[in-house]
Structure 1
Amino acid sequence: MNIRPEIKTAHSVCPHDCPSACALEVEVLDEHTIGRVYGAKQNTYTAGVVCAKVARYAERVHHPNRLTHALKRKGAKGSGTWQEIAIEDALDEVAEQLLKIEARHGADAIWPYYYAGTMGLVMRDGINRLRHVKGYSGMYDTFCVSLPWSGYIAGTGKLAGADPREMAKSDLIIIWGTNPVHTQVNVMTHAIRGRKERGAKIVCVDVYETSTMKQADVGVVLRPGTDGALACALMHILFRDDTADRAYMAKYTDDPVGLEAQLKDKTPEWAASITGLKVEQIEDLARMIGATDRTYFRLGYGFARQRNGSANMHAALSIAAVKGCWQHEGGGAFHNNGGIYHWNKTLIEGLDVKDASVRWMDQSQIGRVLTG
């Protein structure tokens, strides 16, 4: 009989740039080697589930082709020939070049440019401490989050929403602009739990038939960038059919009367001509929302992939307020809870030495920046 070896388990957190920040249980085979990675069962969000790429993290950590030492180009650029050098020597060479550029052109001629990936706050944002101490040019992060975050915060006041675990207590879950079957498996953990335990319906809104849509009860495929038109028509119907919660809006929203007037002509027919959907699809979805107080809107980063993403995000988010979903457990909306933690990043980013007069440049305009 095979006897299972004694394998220790260590606790960790996923280092990916992902809003889930999954709690992990990691097999420790020896002091240098990890085995299988699992979602932590005691963490009620991770709930013992982790995505496939992190479950197989050991393959990446211990891959024979992983870069484990510094390399310096040898020969002409593009020749593909490298020589190994000590990490201390590599750091010295980079530092010397930075000092030369600063002496010749000024500190703002250096632009630390980066994004996220497999790293956390220290590994990713720690470079800003060097930036601010030295007075290097600032970088405005515009990849991925600028449009949806701006639209969401315009509605909620901060980057926060209903606890995503409440999807398990929802009666209608609308997954809009995200494909969590492949990109954020924990969303499906709680959405499917809501379906199994409460009979919740799952609706997926996206620009093509995603894997998430294939698991949903209702799929809504609209033209790219037309989410706002759909959202406006849905709210129009809620007002028209008197399923909007006017008492809630009067107490908690800014201008419900003005919103209703603005949406007067945003009919399903109007939206159908823009979105490519059938009028019946829009009417049916609005009826589902109108009949369901515990409607949860899970709004994703698809809104970042469109020029009018901020307006579309804000429109989709507003449906939850018009219906009054926020007042019910299992209802409301969620995009990202980054605004609830109130991190003090002064030590990490050197915010105490940040010079507001140093120029900032747009990350997504790197081509224009480099070519003048």
Structure 2
Amino acid sequence: MTELFLKYYRTQQQKVQLEKTYDTQCPYCSMQCKMQLIEQSFVTRKKYLTIGKDNPTTEGRLCIKGMNAHQHAFSRERLKYPLLKVNGEFVRISWEEAFEHIKENFVEIQSKDGQNALAVYGSASITNEEAYLLGKFARVALKTKYIDYNGRLCMSAAASAAIQTFGIDRGFTNSLAEIPFTGCIILAGTNIAECQPTIMPYFEKAKENGAYIIAIDPRETATTKIADLHLKLKPGTDAALANGLLKVIIEENYIDEAFLQKRVNGFEEVKDYVLSLKLEEIEEMTGVPIEQIRKAAIRFGKEETGMIFTARGVEQQTDGSISVRNFLNILIASGKIGKPNCGFGAITGQGNGQGAREHGQKADQLPGYRSIDNEEHRAYVASVWGVNKDELPGKGVSAYEMMEKIHEGEITGMFLMCSNPVVSNPNAQFVREAMKKLKFLVAVDLFVSETARLADLILPTSSYLEDEGTMTNVEGRVTLREANYPVPGEVKHDWQIICDIARVLGKGEYFSFSSAEEIFNELRVASRGGFADYYGITYDRLRKEGGLLWPCPDLDHKGTVRLFEASFAHRDGRAAMVAVPNKPVIPKEQACEEFPLYLTTGRVMSHYLTGVQTRKSPALAARNVESFMEIHPSTAMKYRIQDNTLVKIESRRGSITVRSKWSETIRQDTVFVPFHWADSQNVNNLVSKELDPTCRMPGFKVSAVKLSPVMDLSSN
């Protein structure tokens, strides 16, 4: 029997006809891990294996998502041909027919409803080239002011805080390589162990070197487990907690007076305000004991080096921008910025969350992080594009506000690229109704997502294995994603789709690109002289050097590893501090008798964003087949919620049904639900439409809810 088996095994091995390798990058988080797909072809099937490749950021590491990313790319559900909705059903059509439908409908909408009746909704998962081209497409081909993207729901709070404080936003003010050598680290509202797993070795190395880590989160997570001190605050009270930390730092004289006098504005006003506050009131507001506030502040203040990292827990709130500014106040007051092993890091969520916000997808932005309201900026970009600056439209509105414009009838058509707004936006049912109101919706996607189901026309796009281009990772390092796997069926790249539509609309002369590299070379020129200056970066340099940190203003420049060593990016070269109120300008939803608990949201390791890709990966979907609600056992018993049973969660906006998961690691006044699922499990059905007044970020992290068991088992 053994001999027969060995003979069969040898026969199977001999059936391997060919082995190919394809270099690429992970399509998921902002670490942008380099990897290689190995494809073995047998007589009757193909087998795939993904391995990590050495690179400056992750040194060959991969997480479970990266190792299985190819599964969604090879899914049988991949779109391969344009699909037109006819009598409620999608039917296959040719690209020529698809473009004619777009031309006919776009022209009709703008002629009847106005130039701005067309909107463009972009993505932070597409390449820099495609993000750049999409912004140009909106403003040159469509001449509409309405363009924004899903990164508005991710990075807008941290980006606006950094711009207001430092004058520039690059996510990380220094490189990842400095983390292991810092003395104290604050992780505020970030669960990197599950959201960016391959970054964890930097923090683990820091601990080995003696760093003291402080985690701020209402839940205990895989990330808080590495912390020396966990501040388990009440959701939504981050700004007040930061005031408490800052008060102690100032009172204990852990400030850098020379740095403040030479390089900072606004410190005295901040000092006067925080010294007027009482730690007892901050303790009551946040739920964090005074002794823990003092311990964290003194430890951070007395260390010579320190870093602060924020993510969605702090940022996805209606005071997210000002809350991040308060953590930056701590950093500045203690002089821990612009120096070795000191700095700020906004942990970017999406794969190209950094680059996608730099080159023109935001409503108020032009390439190179230029402002669309600045006449000098408009003139420069218009000269690169070969148009009159007066022809460029003005500022539009944020992603969610475009949905309001649809309901108001101002927007009647939309071009949607690689995003799923009916799942990702707050007040999700309102958004779904908006998308249904559109006269014509074009969706570009890999799959028939929940939003694409509502489209009139779906265009099939290429995956990370097939679409070459640059991405900018969490630390601001521009990398080149090699991608030469053959596209399936009649699939086109995003940039090709944009160029083809521009051509049929009579704007082809502005979009006559034949490769991603050609687009990048125009992007380099368009960004030149801007804050996000890519001019010195080329495909050749990226291939040779493995990535470059911007700004990189010329071909001899080595890239900027550490920002603000000599000055900040404001005109006067100084950082700007601001006093941050304990209570937000827009009151947050409070727990009450009818809705007695706080809901907060986030990720799980096996899924990404709205789950469109990861739910098509069997290895990842099997790890979390459905959504869930994490709840403290004491709270669960109070509301008759048994473990692992279905529970209805209701807010003032709507309701969802998910399975309960008891956990003693969460606050008793808080429940947690991940946001990767749709329809009846879409947690964003529960989230308010209120937006941050500065950056227009929704308040995903704080909603008041009530619970009820779907089947009451308490009497059994």
- Measure the CA separation in 2 of the matches of 1:26 and 1:254: 51
Shift of the alpha carbon at 1:307?
A: 0.8
Q: Distance in 2 between matches of 1:358 and 1:228?
A: 33
What's the counterpart of residue 152 of structure 1? 162
1:365 to 383, 394, 401: 401
Aligned to 1:139: 147
Cα distance in 2 between the residues matched to 1:82 and 1:327: 55
Q: Which moved more, 1:3-12 or 1:295-304?
A: 3-12
Residue 21 of structure 2 contacts residue 39 of structure 2 at CA under 8 Å; is this kept in 1?
A: yes
Tell me which amino acid in the other structure corresponds to 1:109.
A
Match of 1:279 in 2: 290
1:236-282 Cα distance to aligned partner (Å, 9 max, x none): 11121122222222222223333322221234323212211111110
1:221 aligned to which of 232, 255, 258: 232
CA deviation after TM superposition for structure 1 residue 55, in Å: 1.8
Give the aligned residue type for 2:405. V
Q: Which residue identity is paired with 2:158?
A: P
Contact 1:108 1:359 in 2 (8 A): no
Deviations 1:46-77 (A, max 9, x none): 121233222211101111122222222232x3
CA offset digits 1:93-117 (Å, max 9, x no partner): 2222112222333322211223334
- Could you tell me whether the CA contact under 8 Å between 1:293 and 1:328 is conserved in 2? no
Cα shift readout 1:302-351 (whole Å, capped 9, x = no counterpart): 33311111111000112111222225422221226949x9865669x959
Count matched residues: 361
Q: Secondary structure at the match of 2:397?
A: strand
Q: Cα distance 1:353–1:165, how it changes in 2: closer, same or farther (>3 A)? A: farther
Q: Is the 8 A contact 1:293 1:324 kept in 2?
A: no
User: SS at the partner of 2:37?
Assistant: strand
Say which structure is richer in helix: 1
Selected match of 1:103 from 107, 111, 116: 111
SS in 2 for 1:37: strand
Q: State the 1:166 CA deviation.
A: 1.2
Out of 14, 20, 23, the position equivalent to 1:11 is: 23
Match of 2:476 in 1: none
Name the structure 1 match of 2:342. 331
In structure 1, distance between residues paired with 2:204 and 2:264: 31
Query: For the Cα contact (< 8 Å) 2:185–2:214, is it kept in 1?
Result: yes
In structure 1, how many angstroms separate the alpha carbons of the residues matched to 2:40 and 2:115?
47
Cα 1:115/1:34, change in 2 over 3 Å:
farther
Q: Take 1:330 and 1:223, find their aligned partners in 2: how far apart are those partners?
A: 30
Q: How does 1:96-245 map to 2 (within 5 A)?
A: 96-117=104-125, 119-133=126-140, 134-141=142-149, 142-160=152-170, 161-196=173-208, 198-245=209-256
Distance in 1, Cα, partners of 2:291 & 2:109: 63
Structure 1 letter corresponding to 2:333: V
**Partner AA of 2:136 in structure 1:** R
Q: Secondary structure at the match of 2:186?
A: strand
Instruction: Show the 5 A alignment for 1:67-106.
Output: 67-75=79-87, 77=88, 81-106=89-114
CA distance in 2, matches of 1:67, 1:100: 28
1:42-81 to 2 correspondence within 5 Å? 43-75=55-87, 77=88, 81=89
When residues 39 and 203 of structure 1 are mapped into structure 2, their CA distance, relative to the original with a 3 A threshold, is farther
Q: Distance in 2 between matches of 1:353 and 1:221?
A: 54
Q: How many Å apart are 1:289 and its aligned residue?
A: 0.7
Q: 1:156 to 1:240 in 2, by over 3 A?
A: same
Question: For structure 2, which runs of at least 5 residues remain unmatched after alignment?
Answer: 1-5, 349-353, 360-366, 369-380, 409-716
Partners of 1:7 and 1:270 in 2: how far apart? 65
Match of 1:248 among 259, 264, 284: 259
> Aligned equivalents of 2:109 and 2:282: distance in 1?
55
What is the CA–CA distance in structure 1 between the aligned matches of 2:315 and 2:81, rounded to whole Å? 36
Q: What SS does the corresponding residue of 1:111 show, helix, strand or coil? A: strand
Q: Structure 1 residues 95, 34: CA separation in 2 closer, same or farther (over 3 Å shift)?
A: farther
* Contact kept? 2:146, 2:402, Cα under 8 Å: no
For residues 316 and 351 of structure 1, do their structure 2 counterparts lie closer, same or farther at Cα, with a shift above 3 Å needed?
farther
Q: Secondary structure at the match of 1:311?
A: helix
Does structure 1 residue 319 correspond to structure 2 residue 323?
no
Once the two structures are TM-superposed, the CA of residue 147 in structure 1 deviates from its matched residue by 2.2
Hey, what's the Cα distance between the residues in 2 that align with 1:329 and 1:351? Answer: 43
Q: Distance in 2 between matches of 1:27 and 1:277?
A: 50
Q: Choose from 286, 305, 318 the match for 2:316.
A: 305
TM value normalised by structure 2: 0.46
Moved more, 299-308 or 18-27: 18-27
Answer yes or no: is the 8 Å Cα contact 1:129–1:351 preserved in 2: no
Alpha-carbon distance in 2 for matches of 1:178, 1:350: 39
Paired residue type of 1:123: E
Cα deviation, 1:213-256, whole Å, max 9, x if unaligned, reads: 13323211212221111111111111211222222222222233
In structure 1, which of residues 22, 29, 36 is the aligned counterpart of residue 49 of structure 2? 36
Q: Secondary structure at the match of 2:203?
A: helix
- The runs of at least 4 aligned residues of structure 1 exceeding 6 Å deviation read 1-6
Separation in 1 of the partners of 2:231 and 2:342? 20
Any unmatched runs of 5+ in structure 1? none
CA–CA distance in 1 between the matches of 2:138 and 2:388?
10
In 1, the alpha carbon distance for the partners of 2:236 and 2:162 equals 16
User: In structure 2, do the counterparts of structure 1 residues 342 and 82 end up closer, same or farther at CA, with 3 Å as the change threshold?
Assistant: closer
Q: Distance in 1 between matches of 2:325 and 2:74?
A: 44
Q: Deviations over 1:183-203 (max 9, x none)?
A: 12233121112122x022322
